[in-house]
Amino acid sequence: TQLLEQSPQFLSIQEGENLTVYCNSSSVFSSLQWYRQEPGEGPVLLVTVVTGGEVKKLKRLTFQFGDARKDSSLHITAAQPGDTGLYLCVTTDSWGKFQFGAGTQVVVTP
């Protein structure tokens, strides 16, 4: 059974600081998505990465896919209160089976 871990579980920072959250799997996956979920709402897709070593940027967010396609990181530069939310990673294996991580709760205070 593929094990998908996200770390840290919780992160509280001040506005303007940088942060990084991680997603690690025990198995190689075909693709990985990052989502952000705000309280009382559904997750919103941020990015999909499929190639080992791939780096994608979305404004102040930088997503990196590990070379071995078993891990990923999300880095936020100069965090803002609007970045507050639950960050979820989802991996899909070569058979189309997907798995959600438990998420990292990020709180950015003004």
Least gap, CB of 68 to other proteins (angstroms) = 20
- Rounded to 5 degrees, φ, ψ at 19 are -150, 155
CA separation (Å) from 47 to 12, 14, 34, 62, 77?
A: 23, 24, 6, 10, 16
d(CA 72, CA 95): 20
Nearer to other proteins, 96 or 110 (CB): 96
Least gap, CB of 31 to other proteins (angstroms) = 6
Q: Check residue 45 for interaction with other proteins (CB under 8 A).
A: yes
Binding mask 7-36 for other proteins (x = CB under 8 A): ------------------------x-x-x-
Q: Which of 61, 87, 101, 106 binds other proteins (CB under 8 A)?
A: 101
